[in-house]
């Protein structure tokens, strides 16, 4: 089959052609996807993957695109966003959420059922799939502490269930990254708690987040991993880089570990600013800053320079 047939092969699935991913990323940057699909269930996701494999189309899943930078050249082949797969259910002390479910919404469902363990994630703006994929964490908690199992779709189209000992969780890492599996759903093992106390903790963490982070501007969240023995924001501040503008991107004046889009920034602005920060910190402190944000896609045909 020809690549152009994909939109007619799946008339029931919303599939956009040459759609700018800036419409979906939290930085409001990113080039076009050749094809952007929004499957609504596991079977549609599996069928799209099978079609792409038969047509030799590369496949990329971007989750909620919150901790992501898509280069300005965009992404070739098929991109899938799973946010229409967003059902959340509870069973005793477990909460199961489809990959596209909001992680924030999942914490709210847990609270409504007086289940404790997910409070740390109350303000993380990603999807459940992305959170498991990246082992998302905040305020001393990580997905690895509560993930019980996950249903994944392998690159060859097999549906598998991963158990706790198969995740190989590390700092912002899971085995799902190594095999490029697609998370379909995840089950979290929680504990009985007090609903009011759970809500109070979530409210406290969200208040702390709002006080310290630039939530009013587009960003990809925390840009860099925390280097051993250091605080990234402090290193950037002490290097005199807080507030630095690069094109339409800026090192946040509220939290130096964030880069915000203040004036129609491009992904190239973001990436050049990231590289500049890394170079300055290395020269000044001999500390290697590694990106926590996931960077994917192709560079534009002509990169602009500053």
Which residue numbers are catalytic? 172, 222, 292
Q: Rounded distance, CA 237 to CA 155, Å? A: 42
Q: How crowded is residue 244: how many other Cβ atoms within 10 Å of its Cβ?
A: 18
What DSSP assignment string belongs to 196-228? HHHHHHHHHHHHHHHHHS-TTS-EEEE-BPPPT
In the block, residue with structure tokens 């899938």: 80
Task: Report the b/e string of 280-302 with b at 16+ CB within 10 A.
Answer: bbeeeeeeebebbbbeebeeeee
Q: Rounded distance, CA 239 to CA 248, Å? A: 21
Enumerate the H helices of 35-138 as residue ranges. 42-54, 103-112, 128-134
Q: Which two tokens stand for residue 194?
A: 């007090």
**SS3 category, 235:** helix
Strands 94-98 and 115-116: unpaired
Q: With CA atoms as reference, report the closest residue to 27 among 260, 213, 293, 290.
A: 260
Q: List residues bridging with 158 in a β-sheet.
A: none
Q: With CA atoms as reference, report the closest residue to 80 among 54, 106, 42.
A: 42
């Amino acid at each position: 089959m020809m690549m152009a047939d994909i939109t007619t092969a799946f008339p029931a699935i919303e599939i956009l052609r040459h759609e700018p991913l800036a419409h979906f990323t939290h930085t409001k940057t990113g080039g076009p996807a050749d094809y952007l699909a929004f499957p609504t269930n596991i079977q549609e996701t599996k069928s799209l993957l099978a079609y792409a494999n038969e047509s030799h189309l590369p496949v990329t899943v971007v989750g909620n695109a919150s901790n992501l930078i898509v280069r300005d050249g965009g992404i070739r082949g098929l991109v899938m966003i799973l946010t229409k797969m967003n059902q959340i259910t509870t069973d005793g002390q477990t909460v199961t959420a489809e990959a596209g479910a909001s992680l924030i919404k999942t914490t709210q469902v847990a609270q409504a059922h007086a289940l404790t363990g997910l409070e740390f994630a109350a303000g993380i703006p990603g999807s459940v799939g992305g959170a498991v994929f990246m082992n998302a964490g905040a305020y001393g908690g990580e997905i690895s502490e509560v993930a019980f199992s996950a249903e994944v779709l392998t690159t060859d189209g097999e549906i598998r269930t991963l158990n706790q000992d198969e995740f190989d969780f590390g700092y912002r890492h899971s085995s799902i990254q190594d095999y490029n599996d697609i998370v379909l759903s995840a089950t979290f093992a929680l504990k009985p708690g007090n609903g009011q106390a759970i809500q109070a903790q979530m409210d406290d963490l969200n208040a702390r987040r709002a006080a310290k982070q630039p939530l009013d501007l587009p960003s990809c969240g925390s840009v860099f991993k925390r280097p051993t023995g250091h605080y990234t924001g402090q290193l950037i501040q002490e290097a005199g880089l807080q507030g630095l503008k690069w094109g339409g991107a800026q090192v946040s004046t509220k939290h130096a570990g964030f880069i915000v889009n203040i004036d129609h920034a491009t992904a190239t602005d973001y990436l050049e600013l990231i590289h500049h920060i890394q170079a300055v910190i290395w020269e000044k402190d001999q500390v290697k800053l590694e990106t926590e944000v996931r960077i994917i896609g192709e560079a534009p045909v002509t990169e602009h320079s500053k």
